[in-house]
């Protein structure tokens, strides 16, 4: 789909497409509701604004749609395909790295009560593991801010892929 095709979708169709970018219904409704966009940059700017405005409950809803780092996403839809592409850096992880990532995910989830989320595109296995191990020491307020920022980066990248044709 390109930007013109996205702008031409009805509200329900646009929201459905956007939920693959960010599984927050509020985010999808805000970005869909601001159409039509004159440029891709305008759409990305709207996505950034919507991401920054999410309440934690909206972020938590979106987190539930993401796979754990190092675990393949379930499903065959667009969101799962994008997740596989974004986590390409861990696709060929050996058993030791998979175990280390699983342990880092467990420690993080025990500490914060939610999935460890990071903008994984372009990051190596070692970078993803090091970030998880470092972030587990954050306080909850700091970590929620980071998670929201990471979610925004992911949503932005996916929206750009959606409308770039």
Per-domain residue ranges of the chain:
3-163
Using the predicted structure, report yes or no on whether residue 24 has a pLDDT greater than 90.
yes
Average pLDDT of the chain? 94
What pLDDT shows up at residue 134? 98
CATH superfamily of 3-163: Oxo-4-hydroxy-4-carboxy-5-ureidoimidazoline decarboxylase (1.10.3330.10)
Using the predicted structure, report yes or no on whether residue 80 has a pLDDT greater than 90.
no
Both tokens of 63, joined, read 């987190």
Q: Which residues pair with 164 in a beta bridge?
A: 2
**pTM of the full structure:** 0.94
Triad 151, 156, 161: Cα angle to 5°: 130
125-158 burial by CB neighbour count: b if 16+ within 10 A, else e? beebbebbeebbebeeeebbeebbebbbbbbbbb
């Amino acid at each position: 789909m390109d930007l013109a095709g996205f702008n031409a979708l009805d509200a329900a169709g646009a929201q459905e497409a956007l939920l693959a970018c960010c599984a927050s219904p509020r985010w999808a409704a805000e970005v869909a509701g601001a159409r039509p966009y004159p440029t891709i940059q305008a759409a990305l700017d709207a996505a950034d604004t919507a991401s920054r405005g999410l309440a934690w409950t909206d972020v938590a809803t979106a987190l539930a749609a993401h796979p754990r780092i190092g675990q393949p996403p379930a499903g065959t839809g667009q969101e799962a395909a994008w997740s596989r592409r974004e986590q390409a850096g861990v696709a060929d992880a050996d058993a030791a790295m998979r175990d280390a990532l699983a342990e880092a995910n467990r420690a993080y989830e025990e500490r914060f009560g939610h999935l460890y989320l990071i903008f994984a595109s372009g990051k190596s296995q070692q970078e993803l593991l090091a970030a998880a191990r470092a972030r587990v020491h954050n306080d909850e307020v700091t970590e929620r801010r980071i998670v929201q920022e990471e979610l925004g980066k992911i949503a932005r990248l996916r929206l750009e892929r959606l409308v770039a044709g």
